[in-house]
Amino acid sequence: MQKSKYIWFNGKFVPWNSAKTHVLSHGLHYGSGIFEGIRAYSNKTNTFIFRLEDHYKRFYNSAKVAMIKIPYSKKVLEDATIKLLKKNNLKDCYIRPLAFIGDGAIGINPANNKINVIIAAFKWGTYLGDEGVKKGIRTKISSFARMGVNSFMTKSKISGNYINSVFAKREALNAGYDEALMLDTDGFVSEGTGENIFIVRDHKIKTVPITTVLEGLTRDCVLNIAKEENIDVIEQRFTRDELYIADEVFLSGTAAEITPVREIDDRKIGNGKPGRITKLIQERYKNLVKGITNSKHRYLTKI
Ligand SMILES: Cc1ncc(COP(=O)(O)O)c(C=O)c1O
């Protein structure tokens, strides 16, 4: 991650190092915040924010689930995001909007504490590494179950929910893997720490239904691309051993983009190299986000 000049903080563009909050912020103590992860991409002539409106739609949905009342309209935040990229002179970058409950009441009930909103944008390479994107990553089924839907609600990117991902990620890295894959509380495959998961078997794609996982926008793009390519998609729960015997496995996410998985629990997936369908989806996704397929695509907001 590379620092930028400004962060948008409660309506103002402030220098990166001045974007500070009180140590008694409720969000800091209890995880009472919601966030988004957005990317912008450029081609030779233009820069585009990818699915800006859809990300803010999810941001407000997260806030609704978490009962956090955002004191700005969606339009204000979308415009601020565009301005932020311009002011920071950013092209290919990652954008992190966050709304969190501020200081005041210190108990669990946040009472009328102020809701703070920030938007940061900065250069950030691919989440699971360039090498991982090219050659595939090594993963491990986590010993931590994905949070249950009645404990943490999966339609919302609530800050506190992510401690579950932090535990799983650290465990996988400490054991020498690149990423953790998580099972749900019933023991079925769920998702990565910040990615949806797909398998390919006999030329068909299978993915976990959105019932218990985040409604990933990249996941949605994968499903659209598969449809356009006449690849059958099954949305169905599956078990960890189905991962092991899949021909291909890949992850999708704004941060991770399309990342092939080459190994799970020390079992090689397929021939241990990114498969044909994974590479096709990767290529189509890259061309979509960069505006190469269609620079007027409704998912692209030109900067
Ligand atoms: C838990 C989890 N699953 C899946 C995703 C992928 O979602 P998206 O493709 O919208 O980035 C993310 C990232 O936001 C995530 O945090």
Q: What percent of the chain has pLDDT over 70?
A: 100
| Helix intervals (H) in 216-266 | 217-228, 240-244
pLDDT at 146: 96
Pick from 288, 275, 284: which is nearest to 198 by CA?
A: 275
Q: What architecture is domain 130-289?
A: Alpha-Beta Barrel (3.20)
Nearest to 41 by CA among 52, 55, 53: 52
Q: Which helix (H) or strand (E) holds 289?
A: helix 276-289
Q: Whose CA is nearest to atom 5 of ligand 1?
A: 195
Ligand 1 centre distance from Cα of residue 105 (Å): 31
Beta-carbon contacts of 216 under 8 Å, excluding residues fewer than 6 positions away, are 195, 196, 252, 253
Give me the mean pLDDT over the 182-193 stretch: 97
Ligand 1 atom closest to residue 193's alpha carbon, by position in its atom list: 1
Please name the helix (run of DSSP H) or strand (run of DSSP E) that holds residue 123, with its range, or none.
none
Instruction: Retrieve residue 16's tokens.
Output: 């990166």
Task: Give the residue, by CA position, lying nearest to ligand 1 atom 16.
Answer: 194
As for ligand 1, residues whose beta carbon falls within 6 Å of it are 37, 191, 194-196, 214, 216-219, 252-254
* pLDDT tier, 159 (very low <50, low <70, confident <90, very high otherwise): very high
The whole-number pLDDT of residue 230 equals: 97
Residue at token pair 């140590």: 23
Which residues partner with 246 through β-bridges?
A: none
pLDDT computed for residue 241 by the predictor: 97
Average pLDDT, stretch 86-108? 97
Q: What is the pLDDT of residues 231-275, one digit of tens each?
A: 999 999 999 999 999 999 999 999 999 999 999 999 999 999 999
Burial 17-52, CB ≥16 within 10 A → b, else e? eebeeeeebbbbbbbbbbbbbbbbbbeeeebbbbbb
Q: Whose CA is nearest to atom 2 of ligand 1?
A: 194
The answer to whether residue 126 scores a pLDDT higher than 90 is no
Q: Which of 157, 169, 206, 290 is catalytic?
A: 157
Counting from 1 in the atom list of ligand 1, the atom nearest the Cα of 196 is 4
Which one is predicted more confidently, 1 or 56?
Answer: 56
| CA pair distance 106, 297, nearest whole angstrom | 46
Q: Which atom of ligand 1 is nearest to the CA of 213?
A: 3
Pocket test for ligand 1, best of 195, 197, 288 (most atoms within 8 A of CB): 195
Predicted confidence (pLDDT) per residue in 97-106, tens digit: 999 999 999 9
Residue 277 has pLDDT above 90, yes or no: yes
Instruction: Give the pLDDT confidence score for residue 252 in this predicted structure.
Output: 98
Mean pLDDT score of the chain: 97
pLDDT of residue 279: 98
Looking at this protein, which amino acid is placed at residue 216? Answer: G
223 to each of 48, 181, 220, 233, 239, how far by Cα in Å?
A: 22, 20, 5, 7, 21
Q: Give me the percent of the chain exceeding a pLDDT of 90.
A: 95
Q: Is 290 a catalytic residue?
A: no
**pLDDT for 70 beyond 90:** yes
pLDDT in tens, 40-56: 999 999 999 999 999 99
- For the chain, the structural domain boundaries read 6-122, 130-289
The residue whose C-alpha atom lies closest to atom 15 belonging to ligand 1 is 194
Would you state the pLDDT for residue 238?
Answer: 98
Ligand 1 geometric centre to CA of 253 (Å): 5
Task: Give the span between the Cα atoms of 269 and 248, in whole angstroms.
Answer: 6
The Å distance, Cα 214 to ligand 1 centre, comes to 6
Q: Which CATH architecture has domain 6-122?
A: 2-Layer Sandwich (3.30)
> What's the rounded mean pLDDT across residues 67-90?
98
| pLDDT at residue 174, as a whole number | 98
DSSP label at residue 185: T
**What is the best residue among 50, 56, 156, 218 to mutate for testing ligand 1's pocket, by most ligand atoms within 8 Å of CB?**
218
Residue bearing tokens 């894959």 = 181
Answer for the pair 224, 207: CB distance below 8 angstroms, yes or no.
no
Contact 136, 274 (CB under 8 A): yes
Q: How many angstroms separate the alpha carbon of residue 216 from the centre of ligand 1?
A: 5
Parallel/antiparallel/unpaired status of strands 179-183 and 267-268: unpaired
**Contact residues for 261 (Cβ-Cβ < 8 A; gap 6+):** 136, 137, 138, 139, 179, 181, 249, 250, 251, 269
pLDDT above 90 for 37: yes
